A and B are shown apart, each in its own frame.
Chain A
């Protein structure tokens, strides 16, 4: 670092609190407001003046000089420490980050959120990712939209259904003039308007027990997302999970359907979490004595829909979709936050605004994920 040329700035996402300990020493706390990470140091009080004077314009030697700090080895070590801790940033690095104007705010976020990597590198990983989404209803489509907005440049969409009138209630890509068209085509056009460079492959097909998944999933896929909830999300998840696990490709089974209108979903990451069979068997065992019976009154249906049935509103499915999208982006960017929710499933309650978690137990000596 050349102190006569280097220009430093405190990152915009860091709050700084100072308190005096004695005549010479202050306690300085750095608080990262997006991630709530805190670092505290005890330091010569002159550094408080130094921090206040770092305006992102003056070269380092000037700021040191005006704060009465000699540019010695000790001072430079403190500055290096603050750079490493992501409190300070060199303006030249910042310029490199902001060169990508479209994702500048997101790169700043990733820089905070994913420790140990530069934001621009995280963004590159997200942009290079290849995602395959099965089922593009209210949840799957919102995940696709958030991933494309975030810069994912290669997406495969699989869904056999057509756009219908009641899609308007929950599908943000709904368009009245596209009724009857295949959903994957309508969503593809919507995504291309967000980013015309995105490479989108579509299959207007239904996944069946005998379907050959290699047709949809290439071995280079970064992640598979399942939100196909009909006939039952579990069946397709098991088929997908067994196929991708040996290939070390993670599977995100999205929530936000039926009795789980605002759930977080299950993130199955080879080598880190339980496998799809353990996950499925866990819930089968947990619900073994819980045999619910539902009643649909035949004379109380409208267009095949049971009156008084599923009541998931757009913002509910949207919550599940974004919870999933956040974890997926964290994973793709190289972060570790997603690890906090492996092997558990959460249900957000719309009436008390909190998540209730259920832990998922691996089977003892599972031959897939036991090692």
Chain B
């Protein structure tokens, strides 16, 4: 089908600004802009005529002196950058009314309404495992429920304690003593109507994952250590090609934001470990670290939640099949500094010789 007979809509989150001979388009959702040089003074009005009803030809014909093929070129350019969305399928309006912000968000990431809708319907069948229901895991589960992820499995064998309440979501004073999985399942059922399944064991090895084939595993568990649980998750996920997000934001890793790993497409846990072992070896030549046992360092709800919010947003993007180049915490170790309230990051490239990455490629 030619571009002329297609229908587009200028997204209402896109601002049009005339700056001299330039036209700026600014997407308020993604905070990205493009500028194009254009000498037609009615360009704003022309673009605003893309109302999701009329074809490109009809829009061109309603203005005098507009060259159809030039307009087609502009439409293609703006559609590729998600300012204009192609309406190749009308949304189910009841579904839209239930989660308008999710639809709106996705319009900034896909070029057609059919892709937006397909991404959401795939989301509805996806299975996610969240391991560890503490300062990060609880907020991640909350985020998944809020955007409407229906199939969530939660692994944790702890009970709710008084000292959890200051920093972990869902738990109320009357939940103290309940299994964390039972407490959250009940709250999610009441508030959102979804049946989230609890698995009240610790993550211990590949056998921990026996029941379901997951589309995403998010590790927020620190027992026996973040490194060990992340390794178990990675060992399980890499051969199966399952995307996973590994720990950050709690206990000894409070400043760290978890890394997202898309097997075969982005740096894996082994790539990260190799990279940082080499880095640390340079820095710590001749230096010994004093070993100490059973440390419980401080924590604060809002601090864990900074890490949880970035982890959750990335997880949701992975579930929505957002292209890997639009992901933020792949190939990257992100840290948050509580002293100056700033982020810093280290790029870690995929190393296909790492011994682990080759698995997921096929």
Contacts from A to B (Cβ < 8 Å): 10, 12-13, 15-20, 29, 33-37, 48, 51-52, 101-113, 119, 146, 149-151, 165-166, 168-170, 172, 174-176, 193-196, 258-259, 261, 264, 289-297, 299-300, 302-303, 305-316, 318-319, 322-323, 325-327, 329, 337-338, 340-341, 347-355
Question: CB of B35 within 8 A of chain A?
Answer: no
Whether A308 and B104, one on each chain, are in contact in the complex, defined by CB atoms closer than 8 angstroms, is yes
The answer to whether B29 and A105 touch across the interface, beta carbons within 8 angstroms, is no
Asked, given contacts A12-B297, A176-B191, A309-B12, whether A106 binds B167 with beta carbons under 8 Å apart, the answer is yes
CB contacts (< 8 Å) of A12 on chain B: these are: 292, 295-298
B302 touches A105 (CB 8 A): no
A351 and B328 within 8 A (CB) = yes
B121 contacts A by Cβ under 8 Å: no
Q: Are A353 and B101 closer than 8 Å at their CB atoms? A: no
Contacts of A310 in B (CB 8 A): 13, 28-29, 101, 104
Closest B residue by C-beta to A17:
B287
In angstroms, how far is the closest chain B Cβ from the Cβ of A91? 15
Residues on B close to A: CB < 8 A? 9-19, 26, 28-31, 44, 48, 51-53, 85, 91, 93, 96-108, 139, 142-143, 146-148, 162-163, 165-167, 169, 172-174, 190-193, 252, 254-255, 257, 284, 286-290, 292, 295-303, 305-306, 308-310, 312-313, 316, 326-329, 332, 334, 337-343, 345
Are A326 and B165 in contact, with the CB atoms below 8 A?
A: no
A331 to B288, CA, bound (A): 37
Q: Which 6 A/B pairs are nearest by Cβ-Cβ distance?
A: A109-B298, A108-B298, A311-B105, A292-B15, A311-B104, A259-B28
Residue of B nearest to A338 (CB): B341
Q: Inside 8 A of A340's CB, which chain B residues have their CB? A: 339-342
Tell me which residues across on chain A come within 8 A of B98, comparing CB atoms: 165-166, 168
A326 shortest CB reach to chain B, Å: 4
Complex contact A101–B162 (CB within 8 A): yes
B191 with A174: CB separation less than 8 A: yes
Inter-chain contact B339/A109, CB cutoff 8 Å: no
B299 touches A109 (CB 8 A): yes
Cross-chain contact of B328 among A19, A48, A323, A352 (Cβ < 8 A): A352
Q: Which residues of A are found within 8 Å of B51, using beta-carbon distances?
A: 297, 299-300
CA gap between A168 and B188 in the complex, in Å:
12
